[in-house]
Amino acid sequence: MKKSTFLVNILLIWAALSVQAGYAQTPADQAARLENTPNGKVVMAWYTAWVKKDWNLMQQILADGFTFSSPLDDHINIKVLKERCWPNAYNLKRADVEKFVANGEDVFVISTGWTNNGKSLRNMDCFKVKDGKITAYECFFGPGISFPNSGK
């Protein structure tokens, strides 16, 4: 086999394996991939709003009648979200998208968050998106401290 043919083949194997492995594996790649799905932009804006503590951005991406649920919150509205959960934003330094599946109105994301003092939370975030806005969010707790101000 000629050297150039050999190199082409190596490249092709790499390409084939990469495509099958889902290609984007790092959080930055996953975030870029999510951003390119029809409802992914608004979901990425959700994480940006928390990390940048930008309540104005948050309000822009939540639909009227939005509900927030978690093991500790049963379909709370935007007003209660702001009072009860938003203070957590000030203790959230970074949020990474680990895995996601987007299908129609549903976007499911495994995210890892880091607090100001380096503690981590790995959760499943389930979004419902309609007409470019988030209509519902439900959080499921994985390993870690569950939410930034949990005190764990």
Partner 1 sequence: MKLILSTLLILGFATFANGQIITKQDAEARIKNYLSGFEKKDWNLVASQFTDDFNFTSPAGDDHISLAKYKEKCYPTSKFFKKVEFPKIMVEGNTAFAIYDIHTTDNKLVHNVEYYTFRDGKIKSIECFFGVGNNYPGNNKNK
Q: Report the length, in residues, of the chain.
A: 152
Tell the smallest beta-carbon distance from residue 124 to partner 1 (Å): 4
Residue 110 near residue 120 (C-beta atoms within 8 A): no
Tell the smallest beta-carbon distance from residue 6 to partner 1 (Å): 9
Strand partners, 111: 97, 123
Tell the smallest beta-carbon distance from residue 120 to partner 1 (Å): 13
Stretch that binds partner 1, among 11-19, 38-46, 47-55, 85-93 (CB under 8 A): 11-19
Opening angle at CA 45, ends 62 and 73, nearest 5? 50
Give the end-to-end CA distance of the chain in Å, rounded to a whole number.
Answer: 60
In angstroms, the CA 37 to CA 148 distance is 28
Q: Which of 101, 116, 130, 132 binds partner 1 (CB under 8 A)?
A: 101
Residues lying near partner 1 in the complex (CB under 8 A): 1, 5, 8-9, 12-13, 16-17, 20-22, 69-71, 74, 99, 101, 103, 106, 108, 110, 123-124, 126, 138-144
